[in-house]
């Protein structure tokens, strides 16, 4: 008798797994031309406050304009609102080559595909247009679920939304703390 593997659903993170991203505020600001000396002037308190606004955006508590206002309120001493918006848009670099094909191959084995990602409304609009998303059957994101990884609540919400238990899900993420 042959036993079947218990995995019913293969779930991928988007940033760092499906899409190449810039990972830090410094990297995104640099990408839009902000000089290094300005980046060095951002205090640890300002960085902490900025991360707080970003977390609220990822949980759907701030829509795009509200987040942009809050982020600018924190960083106004260093960069203007338009630069923050351009830096935010520069986070997404592009889909990794071959990832859509790989997800399609997973689907052809009979596995169900899904994504679970910490993201926000503006990035989501761009992400859903990627070829790889055409191979993802269940699309879930932190801003839609109202919580973010690695909080256990997002994994429970994902299980409920997909109808699969944790032991039936293979979750692929680029950050160990999210696994």
- Inter-CA distances, 16 with 91, 95, 142, 178, Å: 11, 9, 16, 12
Question: pTM of whole model > 0.85?
Answer: yes
Please tell me the predicted confidence (pLDDT) of residue 162: 96
Please tell me the predicted confidence (pLDDT) of residue 3: 54
Please tell me the predicted confidence (pLDDT) of residue 1: 47
Please tell me the predicted confidence (pLDDT) of residue 7: 87
Give, for all 179 residues of the chain, the pLDDT tens digit.
455 668 899 999 999 999 999 999 999 999 999 998 888 899 999 999 999 999 999 999 999 999 999 999 999 999 999 999 999 999 999 999 999 999 999 999 999 999 999 999 999 999 999 999 999 999 999 999 999 999 999 999 999 999 999 999 999 999 988 88
19 vs 110: CA distance, rounded Å: 24
Contacts of 63 (CB under 8 A, 6+ apart): 121
| Reduced 3-state DSSP string for 144-168 | HHCCCCCCHHHHHHHHHHHCCCHHH
- Show the beta-strand stretches assigned E in the chain: 9-12, 19-21, 92-95, 112-117, 138-141, 169-172
Please tell me the predicted confidence (pLDDT) of residue 4: 67
Instruction: Return the sign of the alpha-carbon dihedral for residues 128, 142, 32, 21.
Output: negative
- Inter-CA distances, 175 with 14, 42, 117, Å: 11, 25, 11
Nearest Cα to 12, choosing from 115, 96, 104?
A: 115
- Inter-CA distances, 167 with 7, 77, 164, 171, Å: 7, 48, 8, 10
109 vs 84: CA distance, rounded Å: 43
């Amino acid at each position: 008798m042959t036993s079947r593997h218990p995995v019913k659903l293969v779930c991928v993170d988007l940033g760092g797994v499906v899409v190449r991203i810039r990972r830090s505020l410094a990297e995104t600001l640099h990408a839009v031309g902000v000089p290094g000396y300005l980046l060095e002037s951002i205090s640890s308190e300002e960085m902490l406050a900025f991360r707080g606004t970003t977390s609220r955006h990822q949980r759907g508590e701030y829509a795009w304009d509200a987040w942009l206002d809050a982020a600018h309120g924190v960083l106004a001493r260093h960069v203007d609102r338009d630069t923050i918006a351009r830096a935010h848009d520069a986070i997404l670099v592009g889909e990794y080559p071959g990832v859509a094909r790989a997800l399609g191959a997973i689907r052809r084995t009979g596995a169900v595909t899904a994504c679970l990602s910490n993201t926000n409304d503006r990035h989501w609009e761009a992400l859903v247009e990627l070829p790889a998303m055409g191979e993802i059957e269940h699309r879930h994101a932190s801003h839609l679920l109202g919580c973010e990884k690695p909080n256990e609540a997002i994994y429970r919400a994902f299980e409920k939304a997909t109808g699969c238990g944790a032991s039936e899900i293979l979750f692929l993420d680029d950050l160990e703390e999210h696994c």
